[in-house]
Structure 1
Amino acid sequence: MYVADSRAGTPETPAAAPSADGATRPRAGRRRPAVAPTVLALGAVSLITDVSSEMVTAVLPLYLVAGLGLSPLGFGLLDGIYNGFSALVRLVGGHLADRGGGRHKWVAGAGYALSAACKPLLLMAQTLTPIGLILAADRTGKGLRTAPRDALISLSSTPENRGRAFGVHRAMDTAGALLGPLVALLILRATVDGYDAVFTVSFCVAVVGVLVLVLFVPGGAGTKDGAGRPTGADAETGRAGEPGAGTPALPAAAPRPTLRAALALLHHPELRRITVCALLLGLATVSDSFVFLLLQRRLGVPDRWFALLPLGTAAAFLLLAVPLGRLADRAGRWQVFLGGHGALLLAYALLLSSWQGTAAACAVLLLHGGFYAATDGVLMAAASDSVPRELRSSGLALAQTGQALARFSCSLGFGAAWTAWGDRTALTASAVLLALCAVFALRLRPIRPTTSSESLV
């Protein structure tokens, strides 16, 4: 992993040179920027929290379908809630963080704490309605924390290494996703009431993640390095309120962090195009749980091994997140983002093909993890380039909201199509829709990607 350099991102660092295709490349002689300590601390929080959440995610499909006997339509409804409900509160979380200036940490902490509190409640829920309410509350916590957390990562990084910073964070986050299913599998094999034990241990791990956030993540949006000098957004302008050598000075009248100002960001053509494309592509992104259920049906995976399927996706994500983040910084973020959806389309094609066996499953999981590595952090890095730092949380929340709402709709539609026409027909329709949306997104791609969001203020 990367070691934070106390000189990274300081005002005396030369500016990066933007290329014609929107990628940011350091000028000759510049030292490669290191990842800020804030990014590493947030990565540790996400790693621990993902161990907790992925323990539940790994067993939830089987628990609901095999344990409680839900139909694919009922599971699609709950899965849509689990993956899309956070869209309703992401704008709220982003707005609250921006309004307070230094509230990013505390808004994110409230979201982590709410999600942790929901884990033991799953022990008492046995029917669709209470489970749906608990999952909705859990995703509310995710919605509150996601935009402030990503804003902290963005503000702690310089424009030319933002893709790498998000890649490092997502790699640490995915390390937790890799460990979570393993822990769940061990608990299921070692206990009699396996599901109850999984939910209990998940709660305890989530509490540890909240404590790490409170103790080790800086509280303000503008962070400092080990020598007490500003990094990220503060470094881009020298000291607060003073122009730096690398980017233009901020105008005196910066946008106030109001909800109206946040929504007005969609008037900016680049952010609007990014948000619309993320929404369209999300409409054809089948959720992870359905992908794993399809793999189990094709390969006849025993129930006790089902929790291992997410490990393939997580391992690929872990290995590819940093390299693809660096590639996005160098070659262009939009190209990498669309390439990730090409990998997902190929995974759908493999699921629909006659190829079976362990090699087929590994190929699907590799492509699935590559899709996330090329899109998750890269989308946030691309959106950060089009959002002023005073509204960074709100701007990122706009892109996240469109994508989350689209994936919520896809979960409902896919579950309904599976119930009505079968899994193969539902997946075929999703593949065709993804191909059409990808072609449209290619034509709608940002015209002139920016390299310094502060120039848009």
Structure 2
Amino acid sequence: MKQISRAVWILSLVSLFTDMASEMLYPIMPLYLKQIGFSIFLIGILEGFAEATAGLSKGYFGQRSDISGKRTPFVQMGYALSAISKPMLALFVFPVWIFFSRTIDRLGKGILTGARDAILSAEATPANKARIFGFHRSMDTLGAVFGPALALVYLYYFPNDYFHLFIIAFLPGMIAVGATFLLKKDKNTPPKQVDKKGFFSFLNYWKTSDSHYRKLLVGLLAFALVNSSDVFLLLQLKQSGMTDTAVIGIYIFYNFIYALCAYPLGILADRMGLKNTFVFGLCLFAIVYFGFALNDHFVVYIVLFVLYGIYGAATEGISKAWITNICKSNETATAVGTYTALQSISAMVASSLTGFIWFQYGSTAAFLFSAIATSIVIAYFISIPPSQKVLNVSPAETLNPQLS
């Protein structure tokens, strides 16, 4: 833990409390929306619009962070918007207001993501980059364990009392916002001059980025196009005969496995290589989806969710560590923002495609499609030669060529 700096601890605790607030509401959000009159179709439009807002804003605000040379204000503003959105959902039930509240929440996510990951990258060296991102993901995902667990306990004693649950979720959100003010102020960095500053100008980064970044992004986005929402896995559990409580319990269990493994796998990735660890995670993903396509036994589902938690721990933080190692330090937020923006759009396409295949041909075909397509993506990553090029390095850092 000596390699975990004060800034990393602060950002990790902020993410833990923020995710606790968000995930406290995640399992009950569809129930609440249906209670106030939202149809399934309208819920789909709401979530799609909110995720599109988050995705595109990640790229734009990541670039703005690099242009301004500032990180902390973006982090503070993003987490503040996310916290404020929680009680807003309970104040009024008008569809327009609900859309506004959810958009505020996802906009906050978009504002903070690139700047936060840039800070994490700056607090690491190429030798411990995966460890730092793994620790942050572990703490973040602990919030996804505590949040739903608290929601289940509260709703057990106060069934259907969604109003007060939204108010309660505001508290950890505000703790997170307060903690962001413990971050040190940004150094006075001269703004970076760019010609194009439009909302979609971050897409121009593809042209100016290093070839290693482009090759990596192709593989990451190809995987994102077949990596549909976890909702489909939970839906399969529900269709297998499990109760709602059991399904939510398995979701909490998955997040616990993820949180438990993210930091150790980050340490392993720094030693064994980011690429090797990431490919290992993709292999687990393919196994899980093959399992969901061919299995209908409760015990096997438990084992598959253990593997799924390890997959998440071996890929999400690792991918960001990989990206930040092969971009310039003054372009980190843009590089991460461009990736996460395109990833969000790809995830929307993936969920739509999976839903279509499920509707037309059944769940087995949907899961087999994702598993087989992921196998092709694995072959692509294996074909990428290990990169020894490190671009994101501060003057005080000692280069370590073990990147991938």
Q: TM-score, normalised by structure 2?
A: 0.87
Give the alignment partner of residue 329 of structure 2, picking from 389, 394, 405.
389
Question: Structure 1 residues 370 and 68, CA, compared in 2 at 3 Å: closer, same or farther?
Answer: farther
**Residues 55 and 202 of structure 1 are in contact (CA less than 8 Å); yes or no, is this contact kept in structure 2?**
yes
**Any idea what the Cα deviations from partners look like across 1:236-277, whole Å, max 9, x if unmatched?**
xxxx9xxxxxxxxxxxxx975676796346441111111111
Question: Structure 1 residues 332 and 152, CA, compared in 2 at 3 Å: closer, same or farther?
Answer: same
Question: Structure 1 residues 117 and 139, CA, compared in 2 at 3 Å: closer, same or farther?
Answer: same
Residue 434 of structure 1: CA displacement? 2.5
2:19 is equivalent to residue 40 of structure 1:
no
2:375 is equivalent to residue 435 of structure 1:
yes
**Residues 98 and 390 of structure 1 are in contact (CA less than 8 Å); yes or no, is this contact kept in structure 2?**
yes
* Equivalent-residue separation in structure 2 for 1:140 and 1:306 (angstroms): 29
Question: Structure 1 residues 130 and 43, CA, compared in 2 at 3 Å: closer, same or farther?
Answer: same
2:82 is equivalent to residue 140 of structure 1:
no
Give the alignment partner of residue 25 of structure 2, picking from 56, 70, 73.
56
Residue 188 of structure 1: CA displacement? 0.9
Give the alignment partner of residue 155 of structure 2, picking from 182, 185, 188.
188
Q: CA RMSD in A?
A: 2.9
* Equivalent-residue separation in structure 1 for 2:98 and 2:281 (angstroms): 32
2:351 is equivalent to residue 411 of structure 1:
yes
**Residues 171 and 318 of structure 1 are in contact (CA less than 8 Å); yes or no, is this contact kept in structure 2?**
yes
2:387 is equivalent to residue 448 of structure 1:
yes
* Equivalent-residue separation in structure 1 for 2:232 and 2:101 (angstroms): 20
Residue 302 of structure 1: CA displacement? 2.1
**Residues 121 and 129 of structure 2 are in contact (CA less than 8 Å); yes or no, is this contact kept in structure 1?**
yes
Question: Structure 1 residues 88 and 195, CA, compared in 2 at 3 Å: closer, same or farther?
Answer: same
Q: Name the stretch that deviates more: 131-140 or 170-179.
A: 131-140
Residue 120 of structure 1: CA displacement? 2.1
**Residues 77 and 112 of structure 2 are in contact (CA less than 8 Å); yes or no, is this contact kept in structure 1?**
yes
2:27 alignment partner, SS class: helix
* 1:286 equivalent in structure 2: 228
Whose helix proportion is higher, 1 or 2? 2
- Equivalent AA in structure 2 for residue 153 of structure 1: L
Give the alignment partner of residue 151 of structure 1, picking from 95, 98, 118.
118
Unaligned runs of 5+ in 2: 396-404
2:243 is equivalent to residue 314 of structure 1:
no
- Equivalent AA in structure 2 for residue 340 of structure 1: G
Residue 367 of structure 1: CA displacement? 1.8
Give the alignment partner of residue 116 of structure 1, picking from 52, 64, 83.
83
* 2:57 equivalent in structure 1: 89
1:453 alignment partner, SS class: coil
**Any idea what the Cα deviations from partners look like across 1:388-415, whole Å, max 9, x if unmatched?**
1111111121222222221121122223
**Residues 122 and 329 of structure 2 are in contact (CA less than 8 Å); yes or no, is this contact kept in structure 1?**
yes
Residue 161 of structure 1: CA displacement? 0.7
Question: Structure 1 residues 354 and 99, CA, compared in 2 at 3 Å: closer, same or farther?
Answer: closer
Residue 368 of structure 1: CA displacement? 1.7
* 2:401 equivalent in structure 1: none
Mark the structure with the bigger radius of gyration: 1
Identity of aligned residues (%): 27
Q: Name the stretch that deviates more: 257-266 or 322-331.
A: 257-266
Aligned length: 390
Residue 48 of structure 1: CA displacement? 0.6
1:398 alignment partner, SS class: helix
**Any idea what the Cα deviations from partners look like across 1:51-82, whole Å, max 9, x if unmatched?**
001111222345457986744x6655444445
* 2:180 equivalent in structure 1: 213
- Equivalent AA in structure 2 for residue 218 of structure 1: K
**Residues 39 and 165 of structure 1 are in contact (CA less than 8 Å); yes or no, is this contact kept in structure 2?**
yes
Residue 436 of structure 1: CA displacement? 2.9
**Residues 167 and 377 of structure 1 are in contact (CA less than 8 Å); yes or no, is this contact kept in structure 2?**
yes
Question: Structure 1 residues 213 and 119, CA, compared in 2 at 3 Å: closer, same or farther?
Answer: same
2:248 alignment partner, SS class: helix
2:189 is equivalent to residue 202 of structure 1:
no
Unaligned runs of 5+ in 1: 4-33, 223-239, 241-253
Question: Structure 1 residues 380 and 182, CA, compared in 2 at 3 Å: closer, same or farther?
Answer: same
Displaced runs of 4 or more, over 6 A: none
* Equivalent-residue separation in structure 2 for 1:448 and 1:397 (angstroms): 22
Residue 166 of structure 1: CA displacement? 0.7
* Equivalent-residue separation in structure 2 for 1:322 and 1:313 (angstroms): 15
* Equivalent-residue separation in structure 2 for 1:334 and 1:415 (angstroms): 30
